[in-house]
Amino acid sequence: MRALIQATGASRGLALGRARLHLGRAFDIEERTVDADHIDDELQRLRAAMALAREQLGEMRDRLQGALAHELGDFIDFHALLLDDPELVSGLSELIRVGHYAAEYALKLQRDRLVAVFTSMDDPYFQSRREDLDHVLGRVLAALHRDASPPKPGMAGEVLVCDAVAPSELAQLKAEGVVAIVSATGSALSHAAILARSLHMPLVLGANELIGHVNDGDALIVDGGSGEVIREPTGRDLRHYRTRKREMQRAGEQRLRLRRMPTRTLDGSDIRLYANAESRDDVAEAHALGAAGVGLYRTEFLFLHSTELPDEESQFRNYRDLVLGMTGRAVTIRTLDLGADKADRCGLVLGSESNPALGVRGVRLSLSRSDVFGTQLRAIIRASAYGPLRVLVPMVARREEMQAVRKLLLACHADLRKEGYELPEPPALGAMIEVPAAALALHSLIDVVDFLSIGTNDLIQYVLAADRGNDALGDLYSPMHPAIVHLLHQIIATGKRHHIPVSVCGELAGDPLFTPMLLALGLTEFSLHPSTLLEVRERIRAAHLGKLRRRANSLLRARDRPALERWLARCEER
């Protein structure tokens, strides 16, 4: 029977396909033992399944091509490492040998044991690894089943319905023809969601309600933008789907013509659109779409998947390639923003913090490890010899931090010159405005920064005391709050008064719904994921800046979400 489920859209796109369930209930396995004389066979079955899982990961890695290969390859390597973990392997063998359990049940017991350990740890790194564990063991389980059941057909035209999706799986799923993903958990700000947007894979999160009611093979329509999922659509739904799909296709084709057009409002003001880049694919896309440069390059991803800190040389090559990829357009490299939701494997992030979002993260961590930070700054400064480059500092709360960073930046620059590197002047240094203290006391920072970038993802979280990854908070985590609107207005106005460029680089900048609001507040620089760059450019080209600015007062007078929604709705009417 038809059912309409409203969840959270995390990567836009419209898809129709058969449901393919891949849920944690895969581990709801009944206890089964084997006779003593079959223990060796069972161990052999397990070994073969693990070998097959390893082989599949290797094939996945080999198939990766292009710019995402490097980044996704790291995730795959990590899964392969988990599979080889001696404790995992010996624990499983022991369960079979001593407990006489069948391989599937041993897998379940070992998985439950490790999940309990991970869950009991207060360490965000281990908690985030739980999902990886399920993905790896799920692969072994599927391999065990393969010899018992006929091979499953490919996934072309299917919608994956799962508990959680790992970034490492996305490219493979896309290659296998999966048309959309619906997940029970996850945040639109997670790395998996960012990658899904890079791959143009529709993704809906928080669809718990659907998970209980969907069966393998049910037809689903997935709208990754609105977060709507329709199970067993009616003829009317299908007609509507086809019409919308055609419209979207036409609009996409039309938009492609905007690639070489200026980002200019109806009344002739030029707005600068920079790109947020996660991978070399993003850089290439940003370049092709005519981005003014890269406004945010998140470097922490170089530190997330390896147990060793990346050295100066490998970081230098990465940053240099980024600069070269943008052929003379400005590139903004953000220094390490580890901590909280981004836990590393190099031992940099403190595991024992009871409140990591308020702990030693971003610039706090960098300044506490000047060896690591110095290496990163040296690599960035060396890359500045290849094209225009700026340095952006995350999680700044006070003036002293920017002063300390500048001191280190200048010292590294001087050292490098002494060592014989031919370098331009030290790069411009900017602060992310994402901690309320920095936003409220911007006057105290303004003479120690060359530019500002507003990180609305975190700013909203800290201003509203609403965890950016917690879907239980519903619409509380949102820019539709007078406090956010006023803060944005103040930051932009302060920057303008002091002739300091201000951009917004949080997800807000890439949501065309909010483009008129940001323009009305005086924003002239946006940094956004390339996947929505043309839509935002289209919105800007259809906007009259003078009229929007005249409506800024009514925007600032809005006292609640409905009033802000009405303001935005009136922009749609014009």
DSSP letter assigned to residue 344: -
Q: Of these residues, 305, 505, 529, 571, which one is catalytic?
A: 505
Q: Is 277 helix (H, G, I), strand (E, B) or coil?
A: strand
Among 42, 223, 337, 538, binds ligand PEP (CB under 6 A): 337
CB of 453 to ligand PEP, least distance (A): 8
Which residues are registered as beta bridge partners of 391? Answer: 333, 429
Closest by CA to 520, choosing from 557, 548, 496, 543, is 548
* Residues in contact with Mg ion by the rule CB under 5 A: 434, 455, 458
Binder of residue 54, out of Mg ion, ligand PEP, none (CB less than 5 to 8 A by kind)? none
Binder of residue 535, out of ligand PEP, Mg ion, none (CB less than 5 to 8 A by kind)? none
Count the neighbouring beta carbons within 10 Å of the beta carbon of residue 137: 23
Asked if 535 is part of the footprint of ligand PEP (rule: CB under 6 A), the reply reads no
Asked if 290 is part of the footprint of ligand PEP (rule: CB under 6 A), the reply reads no
Side chain identity, residue 5: I
> By C-beta, is 93 or 457 nearer to Mg ion?
457
Pattern 14-53, ligand PEP, x by CB under 6 A: ----------------------------------------
CB of 315 to ligand PEP, least distance (A): 18
Among 457, 476, 486, 561, binds ligand PEP (CB under 6 A): 457
Q: Is 289 helix (H, G, I), strand (E, B) or coil?
A: coil
- Calpha distance 519→539 (Å, rounded): 10
Asked if 434 is part of the footprint of ligand PEP (rule: CB under 6 A), the reply reads yes
Sequence-distant (≥ 6) Cβ neighbours of residue 312 within 8 angstroms: 375, 378, 379, 382
Asked if 456 is part of the footprint of ligand PEP (rule: CB under 6 A), the reply reads yes
Distance of CA 340 to the CA centre of its chain: 14
Asked if 306 is part of the footprint of ligand PEP (rule: CB under 6 A), the reply reads no
Asked if 278 is part of the footprint of ligand PEP (rule: CB under 6 A), the reply reads no
With 0-12 CB in 10 A as exposed, 13-18 as middle and 19+ as buried, what is 540? buried
Is 571 designated active site? Answer: no
- Calpha distance 437→38 (Å, rounded): 65
Is 529 designated active site? Answer: no
CB of 76 to ligand PEP, least distance (A): 23
Binder of residue 298, out of Mg ion, ligand PEP, none (CB less than 5 to 8 A by kind)? ligand PEP
Count the neighbouring beta carbons within 10 Å of the beta carbon of residue 569: 9
Pairing verdict, β 3-6 and 228-231: antiparallel
CB of 508 to Mg ion, least distance (A): 12
- Calpha distance 490→199 (Å, rounded): 35
Query: Which position has the token pair 């920072």?
Result: 445
Query: Which position has the token pair 């490890």?
Result: 369
Query: Which of these segments, 118-126, 279-287, 453-461, 551-559, binds ligand PEP (CB under 6 A)?
Result: 453-461
**Residue ranges in contact with ligand PEP by CB under 6 A:** 189, 296, 298, 337, 434, 455-458, 505-506
Enumerate the active-site residues: 191, 505
